[in-house]
A and B are shown apart, each in its own frame.
Chain A
Amino acid sequence: KAGVTQTPRYLIKTRGQQVTLSCSPISGHRSVSWYQQTPGQGLQFLFEYFSETQRNKGNFPGRFSGRQFSNSRSEMNVSTLELGDSALYLCASSFSFGGYTEAFFGQGTRLTVV
């Protein structure tokens, strides 16, 4: 069974540009969550999508957005990039069984903003 696939793995962008990151969940998983990891703040929740609908959102500015397609693949977009957006962006796909949720993480996309 293929794991969670994130593309690209590494990305360098310039301030003011926008970026789109992609996440393909494990087959059959309908929930995809996105997280940002920085040295100062650690891991923080960005948003979560289920069946093409955003169900939860973290405390990030509107420059951070996402979407999910009918095949459960998800993209996140960051517009007007700032230096502080340099981070490892992780996505996780999840499924629930018996009231419990198990999450599987991708390798992440390391974004550097210069």
Chain B
Amino acid sequence: KNEVEQSPQNLTAQEGEFITINCSYSVGISALHWLQQHPGGGIVSLFMLSSGKKKHGRLIATINIQEKHSSLHITASHPRDSAVYICAVGGSNYKLTFGKGTLLTVNP
């Protein structure tokens, strides 16, 4: 069993829809990261969470430490949001463990 599980693996949405990507992990962590990777591109860190909720523009990330679960929400999705979204968890040792990623496609 992978230490970090993401769902869904693939997600197709229409522009304007509300999107949720989930991440569950099985190890103790000090922080959880949500990352975005466009095709052929590098990785951008969207959020780093250790508790509660963070919001940046149309993106919202939440984490429940007790349930070992995090969600990434995108409100009013847009075709430029199309990318792979990756959940990564880290302990105090700076080593990140990654989920397999969720491929999001937003159609106009």
Question: Which residues does A use to contact B, with CB under 8 Å?
Answer: 31, 33, 35, 42-45, 48, 50, 55-56, 58, 90, 92, 94, 99-108
Docked-complex contact A108 and B96, CB < 8 angstroms: no
CA distance A55 to B98 in the complex (A): 19
CA distance A101 to B42 in the complex (A): 20
Q: How many B residues face the partner with a CB closer than 8 A?
A: 24
| Dominant secondary structure at the B interface | strand
- Point out the residue from B44, B93, B97, B99 that lies within 8 Å of A105, measured CB to CB: B44
- Point out the residue from A33, A55, A100 that lies within 8 Å of B96, measured CB to CB: A33
Count: A-B pairs, CB below 8 Å: 64
Q: Mark contacts of B30-45 with chain A using CB atoms, 8 A cut-off: 1 yes-contact digit, 0 otherwise.
A: 1101010000011111
Question: Which residues does B use to contact A, with CB under 8 Å?
Answer: 30-31, 33, 35, 41-45, 48, 50, 86, 88, 90, 92-101
**Whole-angstrom distance between the Cβ of B67 and the nearest chain A Cβ:** 20
User: Considering only CB atoms, which chain A residue lies closest to B37 in the complex?
Assistant: A37
Q: Which chain A residues border B45 with CB–CB below 8 Å?
A: 102-105
Docked-complex contact A58 and B95, CB < 8 angstroms: yes
**Whole-angstrom distance between the Cβ of B18 and the nearest chain A Cβ:** 27
Q: Which chain A residues border B99 with CB–CB below 8 Å?
A: 42
User: Considering only CB atoms, which chain A residue lies closest to B47 in the complex?
Assistant: A102
